[in-house]
Structure 1
Amino acid sequence: MSARALVTLAVCLSLTKLQNTHGESIAFGKLAKQRNSYPGYPASRALNAIYSTTGSFTYLANPCWWEVDLRGYFDISNITLTAATNGWGTYMSNAYVEVIDKDVSLCSDAQVEWCGNVSSTVAAGEEFTFTCNATFPVRFVRVTRRSTSNTFLNIGHIDVQGVGATKRYRSYYTPTTGRKVTKPSMTTSAITAGECGILCHRNHSCIDFSYSKTASTESNCLLTYEVVPQYSVARNDWTMYTMDNCL
């Protein structure tokens, strides 16, 4: 077997290992946001159980919403919302959960699947688990609360369970020359930027990637699920490729 074939086999095996994970918690540490934030209670708090006493909290709005970008594509098995333990659970009542394949603020053709509805009465620390039956790979989870007037949305904690899914093929990434991701989720090798992009496509947790013609051939392709300014650095010999959310 040629050296090239051995490298290809090794990459395929490593990607298969990533995709065979079952029942993993896939939301922790991902990118959360909400319509607005009550001072001191940002959306990210709902993803960390250490803050479950109070969780995340929006300011007055109608509707209120909270959303997490999973920075990858997944088949969702279930989503569990836990009410805050300090009595703010009333501000989670009647909220409903949806899963979405694209950023609804940018894309007009996003697919949405309703997963379930929180009851009208919520006890402190009460859990609500919803099963989602989306027929498409999911990237976003959104919680929405509507009312007859402005209200709040509070989430003590949210846990999303799922496994990596095969995403639709993306052939276009926006290149940014002179930048390199600093927190790759996987470091590998590729002969061309196009091959690095194919590896990103095959890896369910990859959204964006960086490639260098001159870096070490063992580490010239960096795959990542979070390319935001604080996780990239100026490097003249690298190019960072960012996916268009609506492709």
Structure 2
Amino acid sequence: MSVHVLVTLTVCLSVTRLQNTHGESIAFGKLAKQRSNYPGYPATRALNDIYSNSGSLTSSTNPSWWEVDLRGYFNVSNITLTAASNGWGVHMRNAYVEVMDKDVSLCSDTQVEWCGNVSSTVAKKEKFIFTCNATFPIRFIRVTRRSTGNVLLNIGHIDVQGVGATKRYRSYYTPTVRRTVTKPSLTTSAITAGECGIFCHRNHSCIDFSYSKTAPTESNCLLTYEVVPQNSVAKNDWTMYTMDNCL
């Protein structure tokens, strides 16, 4: 059974090599994946500047792609791709950036906006800043590299600047019974699971939430803002709700 929550959202961003920042960084700590993983260089490395020397790296496929799920809906002001400082920027050449409202690998009605592409030459630590003109709220950002044959895709670092947006539509959460988050970012009170879900939507950084009918009323709604390993645990009388990708 899914929880239906009614809310409200708006919009996003061309490509230049000039510095431009609006809003806050909204990708760090979110869910990242790539088509394939070169051992030791998973997609999440591209979200943390501490790994910018080498970043993330796919194995050799065609196309090769990298994607982050912002786990919320945002107006995105700019997306900055930074080439790795170790010279792997050669594996970012001609890659292009797109933004989407849904997971294109799961949903048949995904809206996609092309934002621009990296040049055919890339220097160490070079930054490419993309802006888009999407007329829909953004949840997913994908970087793709295609060629006539198999290619690697390397991203030294990616930063996404934006603000939470509001949009009228229904959100669906998949419940997992007898499970709750271990490290909630916010603890509050809710009369129903639906109300807890509304709190999650109003806090645009919220990823998922947990609700309990029997927990103390001042702490029966737990909101999660950051994806961390093993951020849920089995617990009776609790239900954890995870936002569906196809809304």
Moved more, 164-173 or 133-142: 164-173
Task: Summarize deviations over 1:132-177 as a string: whole Å, max 9, x none.
Answer: 2212111111000000111111111111100011144335422222
1:194 aligns with 2:199: no
TM-score (norm 1): 0.86
How many residues in Structure 1 have an aligned counterpart in Structure 2?
Answer: 226
Counterpart AA for 1:155: I
Percent identity, please. 84
1:101–1:139 contact (8 Å) kept in structure 2: yes
Counterpart AA for 1:116: G
Which secondary structure does the structure 2 equivalent of 1:218 belong to? helix
TM-score (norm 2): 0.86
1:162 match: 162
1:48–1:157 contact (8 Å) kept in structure 2: yes
* Aligned pairs (5 A) from 1:122-137: 122-137=122-137
1:208–1:226 contact (8 Å) kept in structure 2: no
CA distance in 2, matches of 1:128, 1:229: 30
CA distance in 1, matches of 2:200, 2:144: 32
CA distance in 2, matches of 1:225, 1:136: 23
Q: Could you say if the C-alpha distance between residues 157 and 228 of structure 1 is closer, same or farther in structure 2, counting changes exceeding 3 Å?
A: closer
2:78 match: 78
Measured after TM superposition, the shift of residue 185 of structure 1 is 2.8
Superposition CA RMSD, Å = 1.7
1:10 match: none
1:222 match: 222
2:29–2:228 contact (8 Å) kept in structure 1: no
1:96–1:116 contact (8 Å) kept in structure 2: yes
Measured after TM superposition, the shift of residue 186 of structure 1 is 2.1
Which secondary structure does the structure 2 equivalent of 1:230 belong to? coil
1:80–1:129 contact (8 Å) kept in structure 2: yes
Which secondary structure does the structure 2 equivalent of 1:197 belong to? helix
Which secondary structure does the structure 2 equivalent of 1:170 belong to? strand
Measured after TM superposition, the shift of residue 227 of structure 1 is 7.1
2:113 match: 113
Q: Which structure: greater strand fraction?
A: 2
1:65 aligns with 2:60: no
CA distance in 1, matches of 2:217, 2:76: 36
Moved more, 176-185 or 59-68: 176-185
Extract structure 1 runs of 4+ deviating beyond 3 A.
225-229
Measured after TM superposition, the shift of residue 242 of structure 1 is 2.2
Task: Summarize deviations over 1:43-83 as a string: whole Å, max 9, x none.
Answer: 11111111111111111001000011111111100001011
Q: Which structure: greater helix fraction?
A: 1
Measured after TM superposition, the shift of residue 182 of structure 1 is 1.5
Q: Could you say if the C-alpha distance between residues 168 and 104 of structure 1 is closer, same or farther in structure 2, counting changes exceeding 3 Å?
A: farther
CA distance in 2, matches of 1:145, 1:171: 31
Counterpart AA for 1:152: L
Name the larger-Rg structure: 1
1:203 match: 203
Measured after TM superposition, the shift of residue 246 of structure 1 is 0.9
Which secondary structure does the structure 2 equivalent of 1:134 belong to? coil
CA distance in 1, matches of 2:227, 2:215: 20
2:181 match: 181
Which secondary structure does the structure 1 equivalent of 2:166 belong to? coil
- RCO (CA 8 Å, sep 6+): is it higher in 1 or 2? 2
Measured after TM superposition, the shift of residue 124 of structure 1 is 1.0
Measured after TM superposition, the shift of residue 106 of structure 1 is 1.1
Q: Could you say if the C-alpha distance between residues 228 and 167 of structure 1 is closer, same or farther in structure 2, counting changes exceeding 3 Å?
A: farther
CA distance in 2, matches of 1:178, 1:241: 11
Measured after TM superposition, the shift of residue 203 of structure 1 is 2.2
Measured after TM superposition, the shift of residue 204 of structure 1 is 1.5
Measured after TM superposition, the shift of residue 244 of structure 1 is 2.2
2:234 match: 234
Counterpart AA for 1:125: K
